[in-house]
Amino acid sequence: MAEVTAPAHQAPGRGNRWGDGPRLVVQTWVGTRALMGGVALWLVAVEGRSPAAMLANWDVAHFVAIATHGYAEPLDVAFFPGWPLLLRLVGGLGVPMLLAGVVVALAFSALAAAALYRMAGAAAAVAWLLAPTAIFTVVPYTESLFCAAAFWAWERALARRWGQAAAFAALAAGVRVSGVFLIGALAILALSQAGPAAARLRRVAWLGLPTLVVAAYAWYLWSLTGSWTSWYQAQADGWSRGFTWPWVSLRQTLEATVPGAYPDHPEWAWVFRAELVSMAVGLLVTLVTLVRRRWAEAAWVGVQVAAFATSYWFISVNRAVLLWFPLWFLLGRLAEGRGRSQPARLIAIAAVVVAAMAVQVVWSWLFFTGRWAG
């Protein structure tokens, strides 16, 4: 195996072509969060929507229900307990649960951006903050917490601090099933880093900690339901995530992109089109990382793409893009614009930033108005 080391991008503080990197990342974090918050304020002022009505949509309702009543509903077992437990903990301090979710999500989105900055520089962190579906790092969803834990797990693993990496991975594994994929990718990273066989095995051994977290939840579900497959069954029953051949899944997704396929939900067609784009991006990132012999990064993205491709249709890929740190590494490097003239590079970056912020506004509007946002 080829040795895997830290990403070969501009390191923070060394030849950073983005000027004051930390300041730029902080400004982007503030600006994008303010932009999405502005959409919410506009809806309050113009349509009279309440904050609770805008925030408690889709999976948020499940998280709040689990935090309040535990796994009282059969479909709720599709959600790992880490995020509801955190909501319950912060809510126990007297903070309204939805507000607690927003505050915690904002904090962890900053920590996730900080990890990207440490691994790949300001451009990568800024690209992630400008992601089209960044609204899910503002509302009470798992994305901020998981990304912060997963990104820091990877950063610590690249720094050969495997005990710390395992601790962060354990946190991620308690938040969503993507933690299983993270454990596998970290195992590949551990084996591909240089060193004697004994050292490689010690690195892999550390991953027993996050594996225990997953095993503990599986055991809990078995004790609750009497089935070892209750998580998968809940996903299939509630969200049509049962196994489907990839070509069938693609066909069914394409059918959903036809205008008028869902007349009561006209936005579904173009959200499904975005799912197709996200899948294409995932495939491209997987291929690029394979060509560059970055096996662990390729596994991290590729396994998720394969999982989405074998669902009933391509769904929630738009949100999963937030988790794909190799994508943000690549976009950050592209934004650095080696070999390009400075004016052309700045114009291109400005155009992309404006377009990204416009898409963030649309996606925020989708979520806050209760429409399907992926």
332-350: pLDDT as tens digits: 998 887 656 677 777 888 8
The residue-averaged pLDDT of 315-336 equals: 95
Q: Which two tokens stand for residue 305?
A: 């793409």
Task: Find the distance separating the first CA and the last CA of the chain, reported in whole Å.
Answer: 37
Provide the pLDDT for residue 339: 55
Contacts of residue 331, defined as CB under 8 A and 6 or more positions apart, other chains included, come to: 123, 124, 127
Of 42-51, 257-266, 358-367, where does mean pLDDT reach its minimum?
257-266
Provide the pLDDT for residue 264: 86
Using the predicted structure, report yes or no on whether residue 160 has a pLDDT greater than 60: yes
189-207 residues labelled b (16+ CB within 10 A) or e (exposed): bbbbbeeeeeebeebbebb
**What is the identity of the amino acid at 67?**
A
Provide the pLDDT for residue 349: 83
Provide the pLDDT for residue 103: 96
The residue-averaged pLDDT of 140-163 equals: 98
Confidence of residue 201 (pLDDT cuts 50, 70, 90): very high
Sign of the dihedral defined by the CA atoms of residues 246, 248, 251, 252, in that order: negative
**What is the identity of the amino acid at 179?**
G
**Alpha carbon distance 153, 174 (integer Å):** 14
Average pLDDT, the chain: 92
Confidence of residue 3 (pLDDT cuts 50, 70, 90): very low
Provide the pLDDT for residue 288: 97
Provide the pLDDT for residue 340: 60
Using the predicted structure, report yes or no on whether residue 8 has a pLDDT greater than 80: no
Of 85-99, 181-195, 267-281, 336-350, where does mean pLDDT reach its minimum?
336-350
CB atoms within 10 A of CB 281: 18
Task: Report the percentage of the chain scoring pLDDT > 70.
Answer: 94
Provide the CB-side half-sphere exposure for 235 (13 A, CA).
Answer: 19
Task: Report the percentage of the chain scoring pLDDT > 90.
Answer: 83
| Domain segments of the chain as ranges | 21-368
Confidence of residue 308 (pLDDT cuts 50, 70, 90): very high
If DSSP states are collapsed to H, E and C, what string results for 5-25?
CCCCCCCCCCCCCCCCHHHHH
Of 6-15, 60-69, 216-225, 311-320, where does mean pLDDT reach its minimum?
6-15
**Alpha carbon distance 340, 344 (integer Å):** 7
Contacts of residue 82, defined as CB under 8 A and 6 or more positions apart, other chains included, come to: 142, 145, 171, 174, 175, 176
106-125: pLDDT as tens digits: 999 999 999 999 999 999 99
SS3 content of the chain, % helix, strand, coil (to 5): 75, 0, 25
Q: What is the CA radius of gyration of the chain?
A: 20
39-59: pLDDT as tens digits: 999 999 999 999 999 999 999
